[in-house]
Amino acid sequence: MKKKQCSTCKQVKPVTEFTKHTKEPDGLYYQCVSCKRAYQKTDKQKTVRKIYRETSSVYREYMERQSKDPKALMGRYLISRRFCLKNPIATRARDAVKYAVKTGSLANPIKCKCIKCEKPARYYHHTSGYSKINYLTVVPVCVKCHIAIHAKLTSSAPQRQEQCL
């Protein structure tokens, strides 16, 4: 029967006392089951105490402020989900840009400068609309400029999809 030494209690135990762990060279976790459980139990207690200590009054104050704001009650997920359902073409274009950034075809916008004010950029803006051929026709913009661009577009709604800058 194969045996392994636990890194915590330093006892040599049979391999059946260790859980599987694919990242380890021998395929077994470095702690035996009993040491792992003891560590998880103490670690969980520390985490729970820390969370409670940090959030007891601060969290309640934050939730009180949020409950007064109707948009905060809806939550970002619902707002984002509604946008995706109403604007599937824009969502596909945004996803294409995210994928291009992830794969390295486009630079991360945070590493670029805004084309209008030269401040650090935060987003990419689709300059030629959201059609499939223009998915990656984007420019880096900062938050302030991005809001200004979309405010200008909202005032001229019929031209919104056609010309974005």
pLDDT tens by residue, 52-95: 666 666 666 666 666 666 555 555 555 577 777 888 888 888 88
Q: What is the pLDDT of residue 156?
A: 61
Least confident of 26-30, 90-94, 121-125, 149-153: 149-153
The residues near 97 (Cβ < 8 Å, ≥ 6 apart) are 106, 124, 126, 135, 136, 138
pLDDT of residue 32: 92
Residue scoring higher pLDDT (136 or 45): 136
Looking at residues 134-138, what average pLDDT do you find? 86
**Neighbour-count burial of 18, counting CB atoms closer than 10 A to its CB (0-12 exposed, 13-18 middle, 19+ buried):** buried
Does 14 score more than 90 pLDDT?
yes
What are the distances in angstroms from CA 10 to CA 21, 23, 36, 43? Answer: 19, 21, 13, 20
Q: What angle do CA 48, 54, 56 make, to 5 degrees?
A: 90
Check pLDDT > 60 for residue 34. Answer: yes
Q: What does the pLDDT read at residue 165?
A: 44
Whether 160 shows a pLDDT value over 50: the answer reads: no
Whole-angstrom distance, CA of residue 22 vs CA of residue 65: 45
